[in-house]
Amino acid sequence: MTTLPPYSIHEKHWNHDKNIVFLNHGSFGSCPTAILDLQTEIKIRTEQDPIKELVNDFEKGYIENKNALAQFVGCNPNDLVLMKNTTSGANTILNSLSFEPGDEILTHSHAYGACVNVLKYFAEKHKCKLVVAEIPFPISSEDEITNAILNQVTSKTKFVFWIISPLCHRHNFSC
In tens, the pLDDT along 154-163 reads 999 999 987 6
Residues of the chain with pLDDT under 50: 175
Residue ranges of domains in the chain, CATH in brackets: 1-82 (no CATH), 83-170 (3.40.640.10)
Give the pLDDT score at 68: 94
Give the pLDDT score at 48: 97
Give the pLDDT score at 77: 93
Give the pLDDT score at 175: 47
DSSP E strands, 3-151: 104-108, 129-133
Q: How many CB atoms lie within 10 A of CB 68?
A: 11
- C-alpha distances in Å from residue 112, one per residue of 34, 108, 171: 25, 9, 21
Give the pLDDT score at 170: 57
With a CB cutoff of 8 Å and minimum separation 6, the contacts of 31 are 14, 39
DSSP E strands, the chain: 104-108, 129-133, 157-160
